[in-house]
Amino acid sequence: MTWITISILSAFFSAARYLYVKKFCASTPAESLVFSTRVLGAVFLLPGFLAGTRTISDIPRFCGVLAVTVVLTMAATLINIRMVQRHAITRSVPYMSFIPIFMVPWTWLLYGQVPSPAAFAGILLTCGGAYALNLRPGGNPWQPLRALASDRVSLLMLVSSMLIGCTTAFDLTAIRVSSGATYAFVWTAVSALSIGAAMPFLHPARIVMRSVVSTHTIVQAALWAVCFYCQMAAVQTVITVPSGVTYVKTLTMVYIVFTVAAGGALFRETGRRRSVAAAAVMVAGAMIVALYR
């Protein structure tokens, strides 16, 4: 199975998870939902960890990456989940497509890697498709950018994409000194412990336990675990390809197409024709990345 197939598979499960959360977990406190996802996710990822290579060749570097990515991703995820729970998917999720753009300076600083010109054009095209998703009929073409100054949802989702752009670039360092399966499990377990330490100060124990054992929480956690495992496996596959981690993340952004298309119909959100056109642009950008990396 190629990295392209694995990345698209990750995108599919990511979209399914967002839709499931929106449909069935909208009333679950975001902190409880994230905690449950990490705890259950660690359980789901444990078999892959035990079956694969479990050695870590550079523990200080590995732990350094964990310290950075666990904290920043936690903040980004809480923002992300809250916005998806409370607002239209077609309004919130598209801004996440800017993640690959925010990865470019980090991969350059950390690894001295930049995308090829053709691949960079594909990344920009993918972002352009998501930008078009935020345009309104008869509106100013600069409206999505102006919305950042006045629309809390747009601004917070952009902040979330900036944080994830940073942490996703750092993932490559940890996978280089371990493996995709090892990093996926250890990162998830450490994340569960980190947010678990804060849970007594956030919600009563009964609310937290109710979310952990909820059928809907378990299902969305399983979807997240498959998505995360596939993404880490894809990064490991392209570990020797310059800017490979950015290309993987760009292809996983196709989940926005799945999410917006299905979400618009499922939740009867407006602008479905515009969403289809913008999604086609995003797919074209992802195809360029896959073909001309």
Nearest Cα to 156, choosing from 80, 99, 71? Answer: 80
pLDDT of 11 above 60: yes
Angle between helices 30-51 and 180-198 (to 10 degrees): 150
Nearest Cα to 275, choosing from 284, 265, 267, 285? Answer: 265
Q: State pLDDT tens for residues 127-163.
A: 777 677 666 666 666 666 666 666 677 788 889 999 9
Query: What is the rounded distance in angstroms from the CA atom of residue 104 to the CA atom of residue 79?
Result: 22
Per-domain residue ranges of the chain: 3-292
pTM: 0.89
Q: State pLDDT tens for residues 245-290.
A: 999 998 898 888 788 777 767 777 666 666 667 777 777 787 788 7
